[in-house]
Amino acid sequence: MPAEQFYKTTLTNGIRILSEKVDSVHSVALGLWVLAGSNHETLETNGIAHMVEHMMFKGTRRRSAFRIANEIESLGGIINAFTSKNVTCYYLRLMSEHIGKGIDVLSDLMLNPLFKAEELQREKGVITEEIREIEDTPSDIIHDYFTQDIFPDHPLGWSVQGTVESINGLTADQLFGFVKEHYTADRILVAAAGMVEHDYLVDLVQKALGDRHGGNGEAELPQVGPVKKFQNVYPKPITQSHLVIGRRIFPQSDSRRYVLAMLNVILSGGMSSRLFHNIREKYGFVYAIYTFSDLYLTEGVFGVYAGMDPRKLDRVRELVFKELASLAEKTISKSELAKIREQFKGGMVLSLEGTQARMSRLAKMEIFEHNLMTIEQILQIVEAITVADIQDLAQYIYDRDMFVETVVQPA
């Protein structure tokens, strides 16, 4: 495996620029990351980070909405964005010779948004439909309900999309205020992966964003309070029950994240995994079942999702806890560890075949871990994980008193 080539520069105003040169490609993935997500909202402005992301594409002082997309797509590229709990990312992929155009378009979105009232009103309708689509999909909405249950009265528990009421209350002035407060240089990161020369990238970003005001450092996030209710049921006009059981764990910066990744592989990494084999295949109780882990800046969550006939709910719940208890009480064999290790390593390497995945990985390592690690370094960490490490983490996770249960079931 060729050695990775990471480069990092911080401009005088605080903007961080990271790149990874991949000599075997002719394209570049470019992302403009902002440390501003739904975690930085109030209850009244819930959804504003996501709304800002949408509205950035509705026109600037230099470009119409059509021109923003057309200037990238006419070069064979793609442009898009996403908002999460902690960050918003505007990204594109295009041929490496057009990286200057990419920086120009992305910086224009950030520096010159219009947030026209008529466009804002139209986009409220679009996001309302997005919210309704999620609400009409029980396997999706249960995750929103679960985060609300496990982080009550906290931005981590709120939907990234907001509510119909909160987004309809947003004004253009609030959007401008959110950008002014959070889209500051010290909360901006530019990441690129592909055929990219770092010094050239730095020059482009310096010219485009070198005058961006510095800001006041990372935003202070509110403290997470205790769970209020550990069992929660949401009736819906549906025929299947949906279950999520999970608990709070450690943040992304915790070194146990690699052990956690392997634990997820053991439990739900494909058709040979324990949950799939012992619950779906052995009993036929579920169609979909999987574990998930969401690690944030200050908190983390581990959970299990399953969808089943309402009459099988209690049995499925107990079978899930049985599998978690088994991992906590009995060490896995060295042969299973070797299999899981290879499965994890293969999945990680395959997932990083594309430049966009590499760009995202680069940015997330800087944002969440403040440490740029090569694939080879991560593989060495994974090689050193023992059966005792797996069991120690399983014992930490398996505390039934810590688990929050969320059920969406037929009304």
pLDDT one-digit tens code per residue, 41-65: 999 999 999 999 999 999 999 999 9
The answer on 247 and 204 residing in a single domain is no
Mean pLDDT of 358-372: 93
Which of 157, 179, 209 terminates a domain? The answer is 209
DSSP classification of residue 105: H
Strand partners, 32: 90, 190
The answer on 124 and 83 residing in a single domain is yes
Mean pLDDT of 334-363: 91
Say if 97 falls within a structural domain: yes
Residue 216 binned pLDDT confidence (cut-offs 50, 70, 90): confident
Amino acid identity for residue 74 in this structure: S
**Distance between CA atoms of residues 305 and 40, nearest Å:** 27
pTM of the predicted protein model = 0.94
Residue 260 binned pLDDT confidence (cut-offs 50, 70, 90): very high
- The domain total for the chain is 2
Which of 152, 179, 209 terminates a domain? The answer is 209
Residue 131 has pLDDT above 80, yes or no: yes
Say if 187 falls within a structural domain: yes
Neighbours of 35 (CB within 10 A): 22
Residue 310 binned pLDDT confidence (cut-offs 50, 70, 90): very high
The answer on 336 and 199 residing in a single domain is no
The answer on 161 and 197 residing in a single domain is yes
The answer on 27 and 143 residing in a single domain is yes
Say if 394 falls within a structural domain: yes
Say if 219 falls within a structural domain: no
Residue 348 has pLDDT above 80, yes or no: yes
Do 77 and 92 form a contact (C-beta atoms < 8 A)? yes
Please tell me the predicted confidence (pLDDT) of residue 213: 86
Do 290 and 305 form a contact (C-beta atoms < 8 A)? yes
Say if 88 falls within a structural domain: yes
Please tell me the predicted confidence (pLDDT) of residue 3: 65
In the chain, what are the helix, strand and coil shares in percent, each to the nearest 5? 50, 20, 30
**The tokens of 363 are what?**
């940015």
pLDDT digit string (tens) for 295-309? Answer: 998 899 999 999 999
% the chain with pLDDT above 90: 90
The answer on 90 and 46 residing in a single domain is yes
Residue 219 has pLDDT above 80, yes or no: no
pLDDT digit string (tens) for 26-41? Answer: 999 999 999 999 999 9
Helix (H) or strand (E) holding 389: helix 387-397
Mean pLDDT of 155-176: 97
Which of these ranges, 6-15, 246-255, 290-299, 342-351, has the smallest mean pLDDT?
342-351
Please tell me the predicted confidence (pLDDT) of residue 2: 58
**Distance between CA atoms of residues 208 and 60, nearest Å:** 15
Do 100 and 71 form a contact (C-beta atoms < 8 A)? no
Handedness of CA 351, 353, 359, 363 (dihedral sign): positive
Please tell me the predicted confidence (pLDDT) of residue 77: 97
Q: Give the 3-state secondary structure of residue 135.
A: helix
| b/e code 280-306 from CB counts within 10 Å (16+ = b) | beeeebbeebbbebbbbbbbbbbbbbb
The answer on 13 and 118 residing in a single domain is yes
Do 285 and 279 form a contact (C-beta atoms < 8 A)? yes
Neighbours of 391 (CB within 10 A): 18
User: Residue 373: CB partners within 8 Å, gap ≥ 6?
Assistant: 365
**Distance between CA atoms of residues 245 and 44, nearest Å:** 29
Residue 222 has pLDDT above 90, yes or no: no
% the chain with pLDDT above 70: 99
Task: Report the chain's mean pLDDT, rounded to a whole number.
Answer: 95
Please tell me the predicted confidence (pLDDT) of residue 100: 97
Range of the domain at 380: 231-410
What CATH number is associated with residue 161? 3.30.830.10
Residue 176 has pLDDT above 70, yes or no: yes
**Distance between CA atoms of residues 117 and 123, nearest Å:** 10
**The tokens of 100 are what?**
């200057």
The answer on 162 and 73 residing in a single domain is yes
Say if 217 falls within a structural domain: no
Q: Is 53 a catalytic residue?
A: yes
**Distance between CA atoms of residues 276 and 222, nearest Å:** 38
The answer on 97 and 139 residing in a single domain is yes
The answer on 172 and 28 residing in a single domain is yes
Catalytic pick from 53, 71, 123, 323? 53
Say if 225 falls within a structural domain: no
**Distance between CA atoms of residues 302 and 259, nearest Å:** 13
The answer on 67 and 205 residing in a single domain is yes
The answer on 306 and 240 residing in a single domain is yes
Say if 223 falls within a structural domain: no
